[in-house]
Structure 1
Amino acid sequence: MAFRWPFNVVTLRLQSVESVNQDTKRFRFALPDPNAYPGLSLTSALLTVHRPAWSLFPVFRPYTPISNLAEPGYIEFLVKRYPNGRASGHLHRLQPGDKLTVMGPIRGYRWKTNEVHQINLIAGGVGITPMFQLIQGILNNAEEKTKIKLLFGANTDSELVLRDELNTFQKRFPDRFQVVYTVVHPAEGSPYRKGYITKELLEKELVMPKDEKWRVFVCGPPGMETSLFGTRGWFGLFGRRKGILEELGIPKNRTYKF
């Protein structure tokens, strides 16, 4: 295994780069041992490390692999470049053959096979990456029976990254996986719903079985997460604002924010 708990450092070589949209790229890195598996569990992220030439200190950023963790020899990241993003800018400048230092694993939600009957995933933009890791990890496991509903929002059609892979999963597992797309500024003739992820959309689409064996996972930009979870206010009291999930009566112990 390339990454062993609790933590280690690995140097990866970039095999290929694919432009996904105007500011997002998909990077495939070779593991040092082509026969080794990543050794990551659902759900896990890795820290990328680099030191800019003008800085005395390294830059660390967490990224969630989107590759199939059950396949050996490589690992993939989907990275959006931000205007002042030091880590994302460095990654976007890499060329095949270049190397990248990564550290990990960083454990997120510790998924257990069939621990619930239904999960709802709410993703915004590149917040889809931990969701995608969870989706393919569950659907590619022959022992899993968990059903998945994904609500995926983005500003434009092109920002619905990984939708080809998501649509393929929906065709392969029509009884277990469903995805709903919503776009703030859809293209002319777009097949996708127009608008943000709203309370009305969640009331309509969230699946919450009466047996209570369900969860809601969230990952997206700060504005989306604030609308869903609300604000704590001062000392958890003054200025506190409820989020949509609380307004819908969803208990905190059934939610998880990546």
Structure 2
Amino acid sequence: MSQRTALRPILRPRLFAATMSTQVAVAAAVAGIGFYALYSRRNAAPSDKPIFSSFGFNKLKLHSTELINHNTKKLRFELPNADQPSGLTLSSALLTVSFPSGRWLPVLRPYTPTNDLDEKGFVELMVKHYPGGKQSTHIHSLKPGDTLTFAPIPELKWTPNQHEHVAMIAGGAGISPMYQLARGILKNPADKTRITLVWGVNTDEDLFLANEFNAMQAKYPGRVKVVYVVAQPSASSPHPKGFVTKQILESAGVSPTNEKNKDTKVVVCGPPPMEKALKGTKSLFGGVQGGVLAELGYKPEQVFSF
């Protein structure tokens, strides 16, 4: 569901911070590639390969929608071959392309599928609606039978057991890539990577994947640890009030000073202010200044942002 703020090159310019000229150039380039890809696919022989096993833009039909909390929908899209999975690898996202409200330039946003990547016939997104959000508003308006254009985006190339421990730090809708990665790790019996998740949200209702993560923690005690932090918890909330801070991360056990965390990969996905607080800012000479993760002792090469 993750409406992340970054698309990795060439498809990941900082959409929020980009100038209008950059937006237009990127949009035009992607649109051109997309139209070429769609034209080529119409004129190519049918392929037996999964639809997203290689780069290309494809329209998928919306099968069903489900409102799972006050602002988040689960949407299931039909794959063209009901007997094949999507072809996406761990971990991958999908770039969505639309022209809402008659726009002549496309709106581009990445989302991470939340269903099992081996599921045949469908791809599933959980999309949070942001007030004024062009893509989330458009996607929430879709009805079964409507179509949306997608292209695959490879993210972090995950290698089983490359790291003893992965620390996942998510904010709000940034939980989607964490969910996909955690499920993929635990599904592979050869992958023994330990998982710690710290998820910060605004309200208890925003913990829309809590049941799924709680089930992982119960099934893999000692290997999966989940910590929730709520900015505005209800009176009966069992979760700590606040934000993802250095103290929260230390209490969650993700500090690299912990002997068990000598080989830790940190993955981050959240709103820009959260990521800036965690990762710091780049200096004019390419270094990183400040940031909670640096204060804890993590090096830049240990941290990956979805």
Superposed CA offset, 1:82-119 (max 9, x none) = 1221111110001122221111x211110011111111
Q: Distance in 2 between matches of 1:98 and 1:67?
A: 20
Which structure 2 residues correspond to residues 1-258 of structure 1 after superposition, within 5 A?
Answer: 1-5=50-54, 7-103=55-151, 105-207=152-254, 208=256, 209=259, 212-234=262-284, 236=286, 241-258=289-306
Find the aligned partners of 2:262 and 2:217 in 1 and give their Cα distance: 24
> CA contact under 8 A between 1:26 and 1:77: conserved in structure 2?
yes
Could you list the per-position Cα deviations for residues 178-233 of structure 1 after superposition, in whole angstroms to 9, with x for gaps in the alignment? Answer: 10011010011111111111111112223344573221111111111111111225
Moved more, 19-28 or 50-59: 50-59
Contact 1:11 1:32 in 2 (8 A): no
C-alpha RMSD over aligned residues: 1.6
Contact 1:26/1:79 (8 A) holds in 2: yes
**Secondary structure at the residue paired with 1:250?**
coil
Shift of residue 129, structure 1, vs aligned partner? 0.6
Contact 1:120–1:206 (CA under 8 A) maintained in structure 2: no
Letter in 1 for 2:219: R
Moved over 2 A (4+): 206-213, 232-237
Task: Name the SS for the 1:193 alignment partner.
Answer: coil
| Residues 1:57 and 1:180: Cα distance change in structure 2 (over 3 Å) | same
Q: Which has the higher strand share?
A: 1
Identical amino acids, percent of aligned pairs:
45
- Taking a change above 3 Å as real, the CA distance of residues 68 and 204 of structure 1, as seen in their structure-2 partners, is same
User: Does 240-249 or 105-114 show the bigger shift?
Assistant: 240-249
Q: Give the AA of the match of 1:127.
A: G
- 1:117-165 deviations in whole A, cap 9, x for unaligned? 1111000100001111100011111211111000011010011121111
| Distance in 2 of aligned mates of 1:195 and 1:81 | 23
Q: Which moved more, 1:50-59 or 1:184-193?
A: 50-59
Q: Does the residue aligned with 1:195 lie in a helix, a strand or coil?
A: coil
Tell me how far apart the structure 2 counterparts of residues 83 and 211 of structure 1 sit (CA, whole Å): 39
Runs (5+) with no aligned partner, structure 1: none
Are the equivalent residues in 2 in contact too, given 1:156–1:186 (CA < 8 A)? yes
Contact 1:124–1:224, Cα closer than 8 Å, also in 2: yes
Question: Please, what TM-score do these two structures have when normalized by structure 2?
Answer: 0.79
1:249 and 1:180 map into 2 onto residues whose CA distance is 20
How many residue pairs get aligned? The number is 254
- SS in structure 1 of the partner of residue 57 of structure 2: strand
Q: How far, CA to CA, are the matches of 2:218 and 2:296 in structure 1? A: 30
CA contact 1:125–1:161 (8 Å) conserved in 2: no
Paired residue secondary structure (1:136): helix
Amino acid paired to 1:147: R
2:165, 2:261 within 8 Å by CA — same for their partners in 1? Answer: no
Q: Which amino acid aligns with 2:270?
A: G
Moved more, 50-59 or 76-85: 50-59
